[in-house]
Amino acid sequence: MFYHDKKLQYEVRVEKPNPAFAKLLQQAIGGIEGEIRVCLQYLFQAWGARGPNKYRDMLLDTGTEEISHIEMLSTAVALNLEGATVELKDKIAGENAIVGSILGGMDPRHLLSSGLAAMAVDANGVPFNGSWVVGSGNIAADMYANVMAESTGRVLATRLWQLTDDPGMKDMLAFLIARDSMHQNQWLAVLEDLGGFNANLPIPNTFPENEQVNEFAYTFVSTNIEKPEPPQARWASGPSMMAKVNLNMPMLSH
């Protein structure tokens, strides 16, 4: 069961409404890097968790927090659209090219479908896709997926921060960027709690390694038709990154 109150997790303010920026903010709501994705990802991982309750509880805490981030961004979209209401109505009444010059970069569906409110879509108006949600049932694999999700979300938030000069929007995005930093650390800390980086690799670490074809398990394969010299790089030679294998086994280029 979920509960709510009337307070946002962090203040959301807009000094100068900008419908075009509202469209960009939609990516942080319903895009693949957005808050709906991480919210559902953490909640489904929690609901499917079979390990210690502490991991389930933590995932529930963070997935629920992400609902508040959707709320904040939806509030920001609405605030960026509100100031355009009268102007848009006047233009629509007197002109025909609504989608282009009239809306000036705004998503037409913000007017036509949602009444100047946020939607569960990305910046192109494409609906959120549930297939983006990762919940494998393997806690280590899910944590790596979560680090990726928070990393790309933080990249998106920093780009949005750079694209606005509104102090209120910069402040809200700076808060979300900070939470993305925390969540990246959080998921990496879970991997450490599970025994550390090496202990969890390869994923799944329960498969008998003598059953895999080890000749190909530690060999870098180059598909470059020009057949260059093997790269002098960490991924092409040297000890394996995985502690469970012979660390002296070379990783050679084909």
Which DSSP state fits 199?
Answer: G
Three-state secondary structure string covering 206-230 = CCCHHHCCHHHCCCECCCCCCCCCC
- Asked if residue 127 has a cis previous peptide bond (ω within 30° of 0), the answer is no
Return mean pLDDT, the chain: 87
The domains of the chain, with CATH numbers, are 19-121+133-197 (1.20.1260.10), 207-254 (no CATH)
Cα–Cα nearest to 68, from 158, 175, 189: 175
Q: Which residue has the tokens 């660390």?
A: 247
pLDDT given at position 92: 52
31-72 confidence digits (pLDDT tens): 999 999 999 999 999 999 998 999 999 999 999 999 999 999
228-245, pLDDT tens digit by residue? 777 778 887 777 877 555
Q: Is the pLDDT of residue 23 over 90?
A: yes
Indicate yes or no: pTM above 0.85: yes
